[in-house]
Amino acid sequence: MTAPLPLEGTIVLDVSRMLPGAVLVRTLVDLGARVIKIEDPHSGDPMRVTPPVVGGIGAGFLAFFRGVESVALDLKSPAGSAALRRLVRHADVLVESFRPGTLERWDLGYGRLASLNPGLVFVSLTSFGTDGPEASRIGHDLNFTAATGLLSELPAGELPRVQVADVSAGLLAASSTLAALLLRVRTGRGVHVDQPLVSGPLPFLTWAFAELGAGGGGVLDGLLAGKCPSYRTYRCGDGARVALGALEPKFWVALCEMAGLPDHAADGLDTGAAGADAAGRLAAVFGTRPRAEWLDLAEALGIPLTPVNDVPAAREELASRMERTSLPGGGVLATPAAFLGLPGLRRPHAPAPALGADTSRVLHEMGFSVEEIAAVAG
C-alpha cells in the first residue's frame, strides 16, 4: 500500500504566472496537494507559449505543471471574480503573483478572501513585497539578481543562464507555505505569506554580507575566487574540464600523491604564491591525460573530482534522478524528478493540461450548476 503524502487533501488555487509560482506549485504537487491552476481563458499562463513549444505547449509549462488541473476564468470580469470567490471557500492555499493592489481592484484581495475562508493561506509572489516604499516596483529575475549584488559576483558582462531569483524565491515560498499550513493547525487561521522575489538571491549572499561586515578577506576573496588549488576547475588533455573539491587535507594529499606532486601536500588551501604554484603544476599534470582517465583514478582513491558537464551530459549522468513526462502527440520529456528528499514523492503524474481542460468538471465538483458553468465559461 502506498504511504500517504503530506499534503494529500490540500487544495491549492494557483492564479500566479511564470516561473516562481510554477516552482512553488510543482513542489506542492510533489507533496500530494491538488493544484487547480486558474488561467486567463484568452492566453493562459505565458509559460504555455514560451519556446520551445511542443505540441502547442511550452516545454517549461509541461515540466512544471504536470499533475495540475486547469480552470479558465477571466478574473477581471464580475463573473470570473465571483467564481474564484466561490472556489476559495473550498481551498486551503491561494498563490498569486499580481502587482500589489490588482486583486483588490477585482474584489479578490487577501482581506476579502480571508473573510470568506478564515483558514486560507494566501501566498503573494510580488517583486519587492506587498507594502512599503518599494511595493510598486516591478522586475524580473535579472533585476533581482542585479539589485541584490548576486549578478556582480558572476563573470563580468555575463548573464546567468538559469533564473536564480525566480527558482529560489519559489522554493522559499514553498517553505513559507508549509510553515503557514502548520501554523494553521495550531491557530485555526490562515495567514498572508508575502514572499517577494527579490528575496530569492539572499540565501546565496548571506555569507557575502557577513564577510563584508567583518572586513572581508574570507572565503569569497580566496577559496571561491579560485585562488586555492584544491577548489577549482582544471582542463584535461582532451580539452574537457574537471571540478576539484579536495578541501579536506586527506583528499588533497591523496590527489598530490596521485599527480606526483607530494611537495605541495600542505598547499591545498594556500591563496598565495605556493598555492598558485601548486595550481599551475597541477594544471600541467591534468593536461597529460584525458578526463575519463582522471575520473577513474580519482574515483578509485575517493577524491571528489567530477566532470564539468553541459546540460545534455548532465541529463545523461543524472538519468536516475529524472522523470519522464509524456508530450502532446507522442514522445517523452526527461526533466528532474521531485526536488525534495521525502520518501514516496517520486510517482507518476498526469501530463500538464490544456488551457481550461478541467473547467467544467472542477466547477461542477465545487457546486456550480450547469447554467452557472456555462455563464462563467462564456
DSSP-assigned beta bridge partners for residue 322 = 336
Do the Cβ atoms of 72 and 359 come closer than 8 Å?
yes
By the 10 Å C-beta count (0-12 exposed, 13-18 middle, 19+ buried), 368 is classed as buried
> How far apart, in whole angstroms, are the C-alpha atoms of residue 7 and residue 3?
12
Query: Within 10 A of 348 (CB to CB), how many other CB atoms are there?
Result: 10
pLDDT less than 50: residues of the chain:
none
Q: What are the grid coordinates assigned to 366, written together?
A: 465545487
DSSP state of 192: E
Distance linking the first and last C-alpha atoms of the chain: 43
Provide the grid cell at 271: 591563496
Q: Which domains does the chain have, with CATH numbers?
A: 11-200+319-377 (3.40.50.10540), 223-307 (3.30.1540.10)
Task: Assign 93 to helix, strand or coil.
Answer: strand
pTM given for the model:
0.93
* DSSP codes joined into one string, 7-62: TTT-EEEE---SHHHHHHHHHHHHTT-EEEEEE-TTT--GGGGSSSEETTEEHHHH
Can you say whether the dihedral through the CA atoms of 200, 205, 209, 212 is positive or negative?
negative
Bridge-based pairing of strands 11-14 and 34-39 is parallel
pLDDT of residue 1: 58
pLDDT for position 378: 67
Render the burial of 222-250: b for 16+ CB within 10 Å, e for the rest.
Answer: bbeeebbbbbbebebeeebebebebeeee
**What is the spatial distance between Cα 112 and Cα 96, in angstroms, rounded to a whole number?**
14
Phi-psi region for residue 217, left (φ > 0), alpha (ψ -120 to 50) or beta?
Answer: left
